[in-house]
A = this chain, B = another copy of it.
Amino acid sequence: MDIIEEFPLIQYSRDGKEKKTGRVIIEMPLTIYVNDEELVTLLCTPERMDHLALGFLWSEGVLDGKDDVKKVVVDEEKGTVWVDAAKDKEFIKNLMFKRLITSGCGKGTTFYSVVDSMGSKKITSKAKVSPVQILDLMVNFQKTSELYQATHGVHSAALATPEEILLFREDIGRHNAIDKILGQCLMDGTSLSDKLIITSGRISSEVLLKTAKRGIPFLISRTSPTNLGVRLADKLGVTLIGFVRGGKMNVYTHGERIS
């Protein structure tokens, strides 16, 4: 599917005006059905909808692993993904109901208990990365983000080793871009315990939790973390690196992985 639509527009400056055509990113509702139940609708960039749906379901705890995925059917035109999952219908409904009622679009009363329960799964990866590798990865990440450069309306995320970028995804949603990567890793069986996630967006508590749940030891952004992002990274064993720009980078937590 196209992810860019062109619109006529009038460009004004202090001196006059000019008719032009503008390239604009497509935003599309994607409705996810699990075992014939409508679960949720995300607004997304219509690319890799299967991976987005699977990554979202994995992040939310509806799927525990690849074995839970029996069948995936995507209808790109309608914006639907149907997932057959090896999960009890009641389990899924209860999970999503609990999530939605307690959290809305943020994290609710279960927020701190989620964090507490993850404390026991603190990331202990011995992976290392050098500052020069991170600076080089960010240069490549920025170059790859051509769509961003064309329309300035999307977030990007990448999965990388210290040496190279393995997957690069874009979406109007920061969370969606990361879920697209995680969904593909789920299906490919990619080991994540020695990988890096690079994001164009801010590192909030939600983004941090999403990657920490998957045991990913490095989370890197060219922009800033929030205080909750830093505190969770410290607690959960994530090496959090922000402001990777202009040949510099800030390591906020778990600098023992910087070689």
A contacts, CB < 8 Å to B: 5, 7, 9-14, 17, 20, 22, 24-29, 31, 38-44, 97, 100-109, 111, 131-132, 134-135, 151-153, 172, 202, 204-206, 223-230, 242-243, 247-252, 255, 258
Contacts and interface: CB of A to CB of B under 8 A. Distances in A.
A36 to B, nearest CB: 15
Contacts of A5: 227
A39 B243 CA distance: 35
A12 B249 contact: yes
Contacts of A152: 223-224, 243
A12 B131 contact: yes
A215 B192 CA distance: 48
A22 B252 contact: yes
A247 B153 CA distance: 20
A114 to B, nearest CB: 11
Given A27-B226, A29-B111, A258-B12, A204 B247 contact: no
Contact of A204 (B31, B43, B258): B43
B248 A25 contact: no
11 contacts: A9-B250, A9-B251, A10-B258, A14-B132, A22-B252, A27-B226, A40-B105, A43-B228, A44-B106, A100-B101, A153-B223
Nearest to A6: B227
A243 B5 CA distance: 16
Contacts of A229: 24, 27
Contact of A43 (B43, B205, B248): B205
B29 A230 contact: no
A107 B250 contact: no
Given A27-B228, A41-B111, A151-B224, 19 more contacts: A7-B230, A7-B252, A12-B258, A13-B247, A22-B242, A24-B226, A25-B224, A26-B226, A27-B205, A28-B228, A29-B108, A40-B103, A40-B104, A40-B106, A43-B106, A97-B101, A105-B105, A152-B224, A153-B225
A224 to B, nearest CB: 4
B12 A204 contact: no
A20 B250 contact: yes
A24 B204 CA distance: 11
Nearest to A130: B12
Given A20-B250, A22-B250, A100-B100, A27 B204 contact: yes
